[in-house]
């Protein structure tokens, strides 16, 4: 692999609702079992689990940015010589909580943190009843000179965040931890991933929990031709989905399909 490529892994693990110790232990085992990737991406709320039971126990399960999840994954990243993207319920202040995602690098240092901007008011898990919308700035960081950005689950349904990460931060890869239940919106998820990837000419690693009610972690390239380049996905079982982010291919896509430079910016302010 050249310096213009990075190897990314989407980790699909089974959750134990409300058991931080068990979930972190499962994540550690999954990552150490498959070494050699530059970045590992866990699901949304990978430390606590994602569901109403967790939401009702946030006083006990929420933590700060440098809490037990950071300490566990910081040590693991140093030992495995990799970046790790993980997610947790974050205690903010005044009894408020955010859905948060952090990234630690090979030295175990925190290189990015992002609080979910868009919390959903639909589906089986009404996040707005428990969480506040995040106010954090864009989260982007470098891996081998390649710019990587963060979004969380429901964020993918709104084009502005990913577009601004692409235009203003220059990302080539979006890490997108999710907690997608198989409700009425589940089958639109991959459609949004494909659209965000194509319209911004970026790679996306979009994760989910394992299980019959979740699953289908996906990796999408910056262009889909229906043959060699297509969205790859897992089933419902626990597993790891590998993807290669190739900057040479990405640049070719942007040259051949110049969606970013063909925008009529005189007509809109974005």
> pTM of the full predicted structure?
0.96
Where does the pLDDT of residue 5 fall: very low under 50, low under 70, confident under 90, or very high at 90 and above?
very high
Exposure on the CB side of residue 238, measured as CA atoms within 13 A: 12
- What is the DSSP code string of 76-117? HHHHHTSEEEEEEEEE-STT-EEEEEEEE-TTS-EEEEEE-S
**How far is residue 7's CA from residue 13's CA, in Å, rounded to a whole number?**
19
Phi, psi of 6 (to 5 degrees): -130, 150
Q: Are 125 and 52 in contact (CB under 8 A)?
A: yes
Partners of 85 in the beta sheet?
41, 103
The rounded percent of the chain whose pLDDT value lies above 90 is 90
Helix axes 159-169, 189-200, angle to 10 degrees: 30
pLDDT number for residue 2: 55
Say yes or no to pLDDT of 267 above 60: yes
CB 165 within 8 A of CB 151: yes
CB count in 10 Å sphere of residue 235: 12
Residues 6 or more apart whose CB falls under 8 angstroms from that of 256 comprise none
| Predicted confidence (pLDDT) per residue in 13-71, tens digit | 999 999 999 999 999 999 999 999 999 999 999 999 999 999 999 999 999 999 999 99
Q: What is the CATH architecture assignment of 5-256?
A: 4-Layer Sandwich (3.60)
Q: pLDDT for 128-146, tens place per residue?
A: 999 999 999 999 999 999 9
171, 178, 112: which is closest to 146 by C-alpha? 171
Q: Each residue of 181-212: pLDDT tens digit? A: 988 889 999 999 999 999 999 999 999 999 99
CA neighbor of 172 nearest in space, from 218, 141, 136: 141
């Amino acid at each position: 692999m050249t310096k213009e490529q990075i190897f990314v892994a989407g980790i699909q693990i089974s959750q134990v609702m409300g058991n931080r110790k068990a979930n972190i232990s499962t994540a550690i085992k999954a990552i150490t079992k498959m070494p050699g990737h530059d970045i590992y991406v866990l699901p949304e709320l990978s430390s606590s689990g994602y569901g109403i039971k967790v939401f009702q126990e946030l006083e006990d399960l929420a933590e700060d940015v440098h809490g037990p999840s950071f300490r566990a994954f910081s040590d693991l990243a140093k030992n495995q010589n990799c970046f790790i993207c993980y997610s947790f319920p974050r205690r903010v202040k005044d009894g408020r909580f955010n859905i948060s995602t952090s990234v630690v690098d090979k030295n175990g240092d925190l290189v990015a943190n992002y609080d979910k901007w868009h919390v959903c008011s639909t589906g089986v898990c009404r996040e707005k009843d428990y969480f506040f919308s995040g106010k954090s700035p864009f989260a982007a960081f470098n891996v081998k000179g390649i710019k990587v950005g963060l979004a969380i689950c429901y964020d993918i349904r709104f084009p502005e965040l990913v577009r601004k990460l692409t235009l203003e931060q220059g990302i080539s890869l979006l890490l997108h931890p999710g907690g997608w239940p198989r409700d009425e919106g589940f089958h639109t998820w991959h459609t949004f991933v494909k659209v965000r990837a194509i319209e911004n000419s970026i790679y996306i690693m979009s994760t989910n929990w394992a299980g019959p009610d979740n699953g289908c972690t996906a990796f999408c390239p910056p262009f889909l031709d229906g043959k060699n380049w297509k969205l790859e996905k897992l089933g419902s079982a626990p597993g790891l989905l590998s993807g290669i982010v190739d900057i040479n291919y990405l640049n070719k896509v942007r040259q051949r399909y110049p969606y970013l430079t063909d925008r009529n910016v005189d007509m809109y302010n974005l």
